[in-house]
Structure 1
Amino acid sequence: MKRCELQLKVQFIRNSIKSSLQEAANYEVGYKEKTPFAKTVRTCRQLLKVEPALWLFVDVEGVEPTNNTAQRRNLATGSIPVAKFRSYTSCGDMAPYQFWLPNSSG
């Protein structure tokens, strides 16, 4: 797929995600409120601050849309996976998660 095709296909998704983040970020939460709702609102606000960076793989040639480079770097430095588990999405699909522990000798 050519980059211009990818950009066109991703534009709707990009706009939808940004709109959802903005909608959530507009909710009022107390300064010291610690509820899951308040944490979600704050997370959406933080994501909005870096939202353009989420799409670098679409706009910039050579930026991978995966974290494979980071995983390869972790393996090369001796970091090891410490936990793997799967989570079911709302559609019933399984999404794998993996956590890495830095090499303690470095």
Structure 2
Amino acid sequence: MKNLYHQTKQAFYFSLVFYVLAIGTVLLKIPFSVVLVSVSLLISMIWVLLVLREIMLSVNINMLERALLALFVILTNILGGIVYFAFIRERVIGTENKKR
């Protein structure tokens, strides 16, 4: 988990930026808005997979918590990502990456 710690958060931030850009282009009715929506969904899938990897490889949570966290992140996508990175991630990862 050590080598993808920062990349997971970066992918989430990129996803947020692309979602904001996609919403802006849809509201302004710019022709390439469909492309930005597609890219934001693709980037969203990347960070969701990285978060699921963190959850499944964690030794700090039990199986029920793993299942509930995985469902929460998959079903709530961006909202789940905000909650996960703000409140839950440190418990899942542990203190090993806090020192960096």
Please indicate, yes or no, whether the TM-score normalized by the shorter chain is above 0.5.
no
Which category describes the TM-score, using the shorter chain as reference length?
A: 0.3 to 0.5
Higher relative contact order (CA 8 A, sep 6+): 2
Structure-2-length-normalised TM-score: 0.38
Structure with higher helix content = 2
TM-score (norm 1): 0.36
From the CA coordinates, give the structure whose radius of gyration is larger. 1
